[in-house]
Structure 1
């Protein structure tokens, strides 16, 4: 039992418009027509396509696998044939087309072999690895891959596990109906998350405008072996924001530059817990979700819809659009966005479709000058100064806007809702954010280009110095060789001069006392002359031998 609730600053209470879509149970919408499956259904990297046109696939079969640390897989919502893989219009604020897989159902709706497991007997790390192929993301609309948040084991650092059932946006009731009808599935998923994270506390937060959901969850939690508290929080938008709900239930303000997990808290949507249960206990991947269809339609309600189903099929299931429908809004009226077409498909982040009409959403009145009433500051749940951010954004003083914590804005729309001058404040903030992001990217690209140019110039200078060093080395080598050649030539010339001098000296020597010699003395002198002649004849050959030795080193 939660002993006390805390408060967060600001917030508003717009008309709820929830009763229109909660009058009948969740209806299962059958597969109808061609399904279009965008790859961009989650935060992070796009998955890698594993199929090609012409392939026949079964329900639940992996069509695209997760890539990198933050990514999610895409599976076939039914059995059939892959028709094409090409850019198609998707439900995205940009309105731009993106890569999508088109599947033509065969009408059999055959599942691939399912592999349910007893998760209590499985290794936690193995379970997390397995979640990469499950396709589970945050089903409350954030679409963040769940395997990133479910870190295994008691070493996760998570002390408090919060299950978000607040559903504070007007018109949206898919989580409300899910808690009413499938509370046991949610609790089974909570037990799995509790097993993986090992928290000390587990709390389900529900707004007080959902008494049936509260009662169903209390009864289901009472049957669980895990201690799960159910806390009822005041109906105040945006209490369903993860950080606001954390503040309400724990009194802890998560710093803007940190995640809730950094302070020992992890938050999951109730629909995400159902998906976790169905994956481990039934072996089912994410192939459908519950969507609220409301607004200007004949029979508003909630439908379990195969992913990839065109929005027109949802409108038909809700009795068709009424006259004067002028578009579709995906999400709630506060934070949702207009769809580019009624043909775009349902994706994992599609929690609500509102058929808009002038009677529900009148044209905005003329924008008047800001009167500095400070109502926007009073309503801001993040304690910012919206009027100051407005002036900075309007004048494109982006440095000041960043200094005033523009990126702490969660774009909840509370400031625009209360503004008596009808100023679309959030649109200015989104513009300023996009401009700052664009400038940062341009600056980063410029810095990268500058670093590359500096590296190039450094490389050119280094190569120039290396070439100069090689030229100097070659020149020094040539000079040394020339000096050695000159020394050899001088040495050879000295030897030749010495030999010439020796020859001249020998030629100048004349025998003395050769008169009146005896015959024996004359014979001895003659023998000496013969030997001297032989030696003289041998001198050129000896000189050549010496020269060869000198040349050969």
Structure 2
């Protein structure tokens, strides 16, 4: 019997809107707006300028920093602008505006076929870095960094995170059914890089089609086991998944590598396969467009830089004025005020929600009911973290309440009778602590 993690919730999945719909290729956009920062780490610097002609797959922004990831043109055409444009996470970001010439031409030399089994781990990691691959579940941590644990950190297990626990989202579900061959190769490549002999594919049991497809795809692969795990949110959070799959507890303040595990998302291993086998950089991704305000919810293969407006147009637009647009899922996603923002590497979903979908109510002071403590999978005190954030006591939140252990899953907000914006207060506290740490580093560098 598979043991679950502590806490968690069971929200309405709302996956039936798109779970049975095959992936469709989105219409080629007339333009793309590609931010130079689509990842955790150092932003890139544009290597093209206004008036340049670029082709699909060409590097248009790069960085010499190790924790960074280059950006590539997702269409062929003319660079019309390099300037600040709306960004789904940062508000505004330096971006490269490319006008489509309709030719959709690849840059010289790609795609091609490569015998990846003859490559060593260092060569594979270089390919992954140059291809601009990041964690595509939403975290956007550069994949080559995650596959390069420090010396002394012995990795003995790889877990493919196929839980996709966020309501509405079905992109990973469909990829497991339709892209199973590429997933198998991607997993084998990651195992080779890490030097591990054992891997698990963890899928929530509300995706029976994906479970069947993955078991069939991996049946001949030695060392890879597909596990159907109980459906409970946030099953897809790394620490929760490691606990359920491997029975290993990631200590407070530690990372999965500290217990010998590396976790990657389904979309990430598909991108790894494309890059290592065919030399194709990360220029497109599968995104779920869903919600009651969307005319025809779909799973779409979209070019990076496609605006949310153009992505939603592929689904027939809106049936009513949405009350909220969210990038990602409803639990951990980011509300958007502008449909001009772009699909970036971490956009697993776009939700158009009507008023009936929104959790109604006015925020009020914490009533100390303790419901948030009961559901917190990280064993934290979310109510106290929210109070400290609200009072600008962010350093106390870090030192006394293990602030940075919070996965920002939103389970606490879901059960809060006072309708408190707990996760927002926590994000604020993290931002303030990170800003203070950056100032200290700058002062020491002078």
Provide the secondary structure at the position in 2 that maps to 1:132: helix
Higher helix share: 1
Distance 1:266 1:350 in 2: 22
Distance 2:88 2:171 in 1: 18
Distance 1:425 1:155 in 2: 37
Provide the secondary structure at the position in 1 that maps to 2:106: coil
| TM-score where L is the length of structure 2 | 0.94
Distance 1:443 1:161 in 2: 36
Flag the structure with larger Rg: 1
Give the aligned partner of residue 546 of structure 1. none
State the Cα RMSD in Å: 2.1
Give the aligned partner of residue 250 of structure 2. 254
Provide the secondary structure at the position in 2 that maps to 1:24: coil
The aligned runs of 1:423-502 (5 Å cut-off) are 423-441=420-438, 448=444
Q: Do residues 233 (structure 1) and 229 (structure 2) align? A: yes
Give the aligned partner of residue 93 of structure 2. 98
Give per-residue Cα distances to partners, 1:188-225, cap 9 Å, x unaligned. Answer: 1101111111213100000010000000000000143x
Q: Do residues 315 (structure 1) and 312 (structure 2) align? A: yes
Distance 2:225 2:136 in 1: 22
Structure 1 range deviating more: 108-117 or 229-238: 108-117
Give the aligned partner of residue 375 of structure 2. 379
Contact 1:66/1:132 (8 A) holds in 2: no
| TM-score where L is the length of structure 1 | 0.76
Higher strand share: 2
Structure 1 range deviating more: 369-378 or 275-284: 369-378
Distance 1:152 1:380 in 2: 29
Distance 1:154 1:86 in 2: 40
Which runs of 5 or more residues in structure 2 are unaligned? Answer: none
Deviation at 1:343, TM superposition (A): 1.3
Contact 2:158/2:196 (8 A) holds in 1: yes
The aligned runs of 1:141-540 (5 Å cut-off) are 141-151=138-148, 157-224=154-221, 226-295=222-291, 296-362=293-359, 364-402=360-398, 403-441=400-438, 448=444
Distance 1:119 1:138 in 2: 21
Higher RCO (Cα < 8 Å, 6 or more apart): 2
Contact 1:39/1:74 (8 A) holds in 2: yes
Q: How many residues align?
A: 442
Give the aligned partner of residue 32 of structure 1. 29
Distance 1:388 1:127 in 2: 45
Distance 2:406 2:151 in 1: 33
Give the aligned partner of residue 462 of structure 1. none
Provide the secondary structure at the position in 1 that maps to 2:356: coil
Deviation at 1:316, TM superposition (A): 1.3
Provide the secondary structure at the position in 1 that maps to 2:302: strand
Structure 1 range deviating more: 267-276 or 52-61: 52-61
Distance 1:49 1:415 in 2: 40
Distance 1:370 1:80 in 2: 54
